[in-house]
């Protein structure tokens, strides 16, 4: 009989994909479901990036490339890190992978031994612990509370570190909470890390450009140069450039780590798509005017969602600094019964009832390691969000 590997049996299927699937099934039955589950910008890839891809196809850039990225893209990435983050990297310190997810996977595959621990602040993006497990590592969760704006406190980091800690994963702005660490927040964490030289830092900066209210983005190798030699600074094209389907992620860090990651790629994916790499060169080196109006739209939508949350009995959420998610506590609904009679014992019950009764799809917080809560993705139209917000508020007021 068919059996999956022990490594795979420890892994959960993605909860965000499961929530999106449930919504799709109801939609197929003709029900007007508003899906706030997916973590994908609703904007299209900017035209100058598409044109560069078409041009690359015409030029015949259709062959295998250097395994961890073409020199032109590595140069553009070095220039980006210098321009945006005041970080000096050489092309030999840069990895380009087929998406942000594979960057992280390649880093874990290249470094983790059985029993090695990966500290993952919770709430966390669903893939960190499962990728660590797939690579034989052990995720260790460090709680970040709503009271602290879902940002890891230095004391919580300190107690999570053991002699077996290999990596700390930082993600700012965060999926699922939108929380972002200021330079001072990062310096406080860096002070702890400076006392533990065996811990490496993987910082996932995917949502760097999606910040609001004038928030100033910072990344840990920039604010704590003492950690430069053990930090992998990761980023990608998917979110900021609305290029989820193109599959380009990248990272920069110490050369031996970058070499090891390339070795993983030589025997697995080989190079990321040649055409997407040329499109990314144009994206990184080109104009970034498209970001401002898009961020204005995202911020307006964030505020719209927060207004509806504030008007909903039993819900509460801190104001996120970035990304396109609101992480709402639903502690005030637990123990109640929904309008149509479903007992709301967990955040999973709340999300099921919201979908079945209010026809709004969101993802339970426990899937991100923190609950009772749910994640709302606001990367959708103002009209859909307005309608969903009203439905959520009605759902809450009908719970008893
Ligand atoms: N990191 C975070 C925090 C994300 O939210 C995502 C996408 O959901 C990724 C990485 C993965 O990006 P990619 O689609 O480039 O693999």
pLDDT along the chain (400 residues), means of 10: 90 80 91 90 96 98 98 98 98 98 98 97 95 96 94 98 98 98 98 98 98 97 98 97 97 98 97 98 98 96 98 96 97 97 96 95 95 95 97 97
C-alpha 111/C-alpha 259 separation (Å) is 11
What token pair was written down for 215? 């928030």
- Please indicate, yes or no, whether residues 124 and 265 belong to a single structural domain of this protein: yes
In this predicted structure, what is the pLDDT of residue 17? 79
C-alpha 236/C-alpha 36 separation (Å) is 23
3-class secondary structure, 96: strand
C-alpha 400/C-alpha 380 separation (Å) is 30
Tell me whether residue 51 is in a domain: no
- Please indicate, yes or no, whether residues 97 and 132 belong to a single structural domain of this protein: yes
Task: Count CB-CB contacts under 10 A for residue 30.
Answer: 7
The 10 Å CB-count burial string (b at 16+, else e) for 270-299 is ebbbbbbbbbbbbbbebeeebeeebbebbb
Tell me whether residue 280 is in a domain: yes
In this predicted structure, what is the pLDDT of residue 136? 94
In this predicted structure, what is the pLDDT of residue 295? 96
Tell me whether residue 55 is in a domain: no
Q: Who contacts 217 (Cβ-Cβ below 8 Å, separation ≥6)?
A: 84, 172, 173, 180, 205, 208, 209, 211, 322
- Please indicate, yes or no, whether residues 207 and 76 belong to a single structural domain of this protein: yes
- Please indicate, yes or no, whether residues 120 and 263 belong to a single structural domain of this protein: yes
- Please indicate, yes or no, whether residues 234 and 369 belong to a single structural domain of this protein: no
Tell me whether residue 183 is in a domain: yes
* 8 Å CB contact between 277 and 105: no
DSSP-derived letter for residue 356 is I
Q: Which of 37, 100, 233 to mutate to test the pocket of ligand 1 (most atoms within 8 A of CB)?
A: 100
3-class secondary structure, 37: coil
C-alpha 296/C-alpha 293 separation (Å) is 5
Tell me whether residue 1 is in a domain: no
* 8 Å CB contact between 145 and 165: no
C-alpha 117/C-alpha 243 separation (Å) is 32
- Please indicate, yes or no, whether residues 317 and 275 belong to a single structural domain of this protein: no
Tell me how many degrees the CA angle 160-166-167 measures, rounded to the nearest 5.
75
* Distance from residue 262's CA to the centre of ligand 1 (Å): 20
Q: Which of 206, 250, 272 to mutate to test the pocket of ligand 1 (most atoms within 8 A of CB)?
A: 206
What token pair was written down for 219? 């990344």
- Please indicate, yes or no, whether residues 217 and 295 belong to a single structural domain of this protein: no
Phi, psi of 120 (to 5 degrees): -120, 110
Of 220, 250, 285, the position where a domain reaches its end is 285
- Please indicate, yes or no, whether residues 153 and 211 belong to a single structural domain of this protein: yes
Tell me whether residue 53 is in a domain: no
Of 285, 304, 337, the position where a domain reaches its end is 285
Which residue puts its alpha carbon closest to atom 7 of ligand 1?
A: 39
C-alpha 73/C-alpha 350 separation (Å) is 45
Closest CA to 176 of 294, 45, 36, 301: 36
Provide the residue range defining the domain that includes 160.
63-285
Q: Who contacts 147 (Cβ-Cβ below 8 Å, separation ≥6)?
A: none
Tell me whether residue 379 is in a domain: yes
Pocket of ligand 1 (CB under 6 A): 39, 99-101, 125, 171, 175, 204, 206, 236, 238, 244, 249
Helices 100-111 and 255-266 sit at what angle, rounded to 10 degrees?
A: 100
* 8 Å CB contact between 104 and 202: yes
Phi, psi of 390 (to 5 degrees): -65, -45
* 8 Å CB contact between 93 and 252: yes
State the CATH number of the domain containing residue 86.
3.40.640.10
- Please indicate, yes or no, whether residues 87 and 100 belong to a single structural domain of this protein: yes
3-class secondary structure, 231: strand
C-alpha 246/C-alpha 274 separation (Å) is 10
Q: Domains in the chain: how many in total?
A: 2
- Ligand 1 atom closest to 125 (CA): 3
Tell me whether residue 38 is in a domain: yes
- Please indicate, yes or no, whether residues 30 and 76 belong to a single structural domain of this protein: no
Q: Which of 45, 98, 106, 236 to mutate to test the pocket of ligand 1 (most atoms within 8 A of CB)?
A: 236
- Please indicate, yes or no, whether residues 315 and 361 belong to a single structural domain of this protein: yes
């Amino acid at each position: 009989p068919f059996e999956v590997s022990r490594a795979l049996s420890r892994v959960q299927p993605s909860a965000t994909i499961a929530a999106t699937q449930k919504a799709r099934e109801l939609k197929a039955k003709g029900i007007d479901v508003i899906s706030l589950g997916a973590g994908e910008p609703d904007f299209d890839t900017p035209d100058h990036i598409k044109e560069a891809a078409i041009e690359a196809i015409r030029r015949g850039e259709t062959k295998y490339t250097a395994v961890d990225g073409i020199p032109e893209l590595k140069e553009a990435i070095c220039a980006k890190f210098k321009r945006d983050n005041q970080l000096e990297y050489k092309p030999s310190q840069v990895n380009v992978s087929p998406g942000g997810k594979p960057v992280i996977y390649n880093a874990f595959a290249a470094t983790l031994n059985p029993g090695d621990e990966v500290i993952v602040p919770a709430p966390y993006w669903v893939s960190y612990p499962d990728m660590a497990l797939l690579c034989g590592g052990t995720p260790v969760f460090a709680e970040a509370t709503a009271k602290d704006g879902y940002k890891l406190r230095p004391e919580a980091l300190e107690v999570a570190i053991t002699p077996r800690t290999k990596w700390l994963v930082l993600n700012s702005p965060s999926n699922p909470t939108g929380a972002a660490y200021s330079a001072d927040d990062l310096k406080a964490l860096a002070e702890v890390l400076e006392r533990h030289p065996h811990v490496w830092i993987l910082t996932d900066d995917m949502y760097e450009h999606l910040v609001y209210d004038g928030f100033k983005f910072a990344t840990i190798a920039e604010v704590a140069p003492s950690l430069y030699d053990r930090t992998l600074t990761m980023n990608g094209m998917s979110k900021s450039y609305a290029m989820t389907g193109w599959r380009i992620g990248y990272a920069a860090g110490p050369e031996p780590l970058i070499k090891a990651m390339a070795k993983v790629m030589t025997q697995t994916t080989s190079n990321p798509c040649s055409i997407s790499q040329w499109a990314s060169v144009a994206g990184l080196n080109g104009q970034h005017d498209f970001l401002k109006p898009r961020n204005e739209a995202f911020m307006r939508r964030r505020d719209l969602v927060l207004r509806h949350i504030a008007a909903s009995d039993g819900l509460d959420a801190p104001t996120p600094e970035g990304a396109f998610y609101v992480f709402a506590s639903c502690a005030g609904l637990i123990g109640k019964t929904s309008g149509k009679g479903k007992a709301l014992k967990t955040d999973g019950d709340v999300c099921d009832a919201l979908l079945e009764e209010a026809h709004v799809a969101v993802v339970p917080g426990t899937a991100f390691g923190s609950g009772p809560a749910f994640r709302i993705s606001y990367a959708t139209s103002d009209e859909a969000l307005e309608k969903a917000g009203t439905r959520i508020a009605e759902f809450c007021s009908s719970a008893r």
